[in-house]
């Protein structure tokens, strides 16, 4: 069976273990093995806990054939930094990359809501005078194009679900796409 690393900031939600269980079950229904980072056995009292978490997650990513990254904005207008790193790591290793966001708005629109953003010379400028990336994309162009070039376009709903952290509709769409892509890849390798 094909292994898929399940990245995302939903690890920080109060019922993260339950979310992980639901994600792993959805993967199994489609013939995939979901690798959820909280399944790593890490001693939280260890002196080097953060390094152990990093190494455990890195080992899972090395074992995985693909990643499904939850790129729903987290603690700001953009995706979680750890998830973005994991997506880049997997793209750099040539693995199948899929991602979803339960917020369908563009990054620039979210920035307008998040901070003081003005238009100057046809560009969006934030309160610090820095240019805001505005290509009409859901998030930073590097993530969006990593998905386009190493897997499938970012999956987003037409409208944000009521509960962005527990609605797994877009996630399941990614699981179905991963199952189809990985099955055809493995079938081609056997020929």
Residues 19 and 78 in one domain: yes
How does pLDDT run across 110-127, given as a tens digit for each residue? 988 887 888 888 888 888
CA atoms within 13 A on the CB side of 106: 10
CA–CA gap between residue 78 and residue 12 (Å, rounded): 16
The contacts of residue 27 (CB under 8 Å, 6+ apart) are 4, 6, 33, 34, 175
How does pLDDT run across 36-82, given as a tens digit for each residue? 999 888 887 888 989 999 999 999 999 999 999 999 999 999 999 99
131 lies in which domain range? 105-137
Residues 32 and 42 in one domain: yes
pTM: predicted TM-score of the whole model, two decimal places? 0.91
| pLDDT at position 191 over 80 | no
Question: What DSSP letter does each residue of 70-90 carry, written as one string?
Answer: E----SSSS--HHHHHHHHHH
Question: How large is the C-alpha radius of gyration of the chain?
Answer: 17
Residues 79 and 148 in one domain: yes
- The count of structural domains within the chain is 2
Give the domain CATH number at 150: 3.40.50.450
Residues 86 and 58 in one domain: yes
Helices and strands counted in the chain (H then E)? 6, 7
């Amino acid at each position: 069976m094909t292994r898929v690393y399940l990245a995302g900031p939903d690890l920080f939600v109060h019922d993260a273990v339950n979310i992980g269980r639901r994600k792993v079950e959805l993967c199994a229904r489609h013939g995939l093995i979901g690798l959820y980072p909280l399944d790593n056995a890490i001693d939280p009292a260890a002196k080097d806990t953060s390094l152990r978490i990093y190494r455990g997650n890195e080992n899972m990513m090395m074992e995985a054939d693909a990643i499904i990254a939850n790129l729903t904005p987290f603690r700001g207008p953009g995706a979680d930094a750890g998830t973005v790193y994991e997506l880049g790591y997997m793209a750099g290793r040539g693995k199948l990359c899929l991602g979803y966001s339960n917020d369908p708005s563009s990054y620039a629109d979210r920035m307008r809501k998040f901070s003081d953003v003005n238009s100057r010379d046809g560009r969006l400028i934030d309160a610090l005078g820095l240019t805001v990336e505005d290509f009409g994309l859901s998030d930073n162009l590097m993530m969006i194009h990593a998905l386009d070039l190493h897997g499938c376009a970012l999956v987003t709903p037409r409208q944000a679900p009521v509960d962005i952290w527990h609605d797994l509709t877009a996630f399941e769409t990614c699981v179905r796409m991963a199952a189809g892509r990985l099955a055809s890849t493995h079938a081609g390798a056997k020929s």
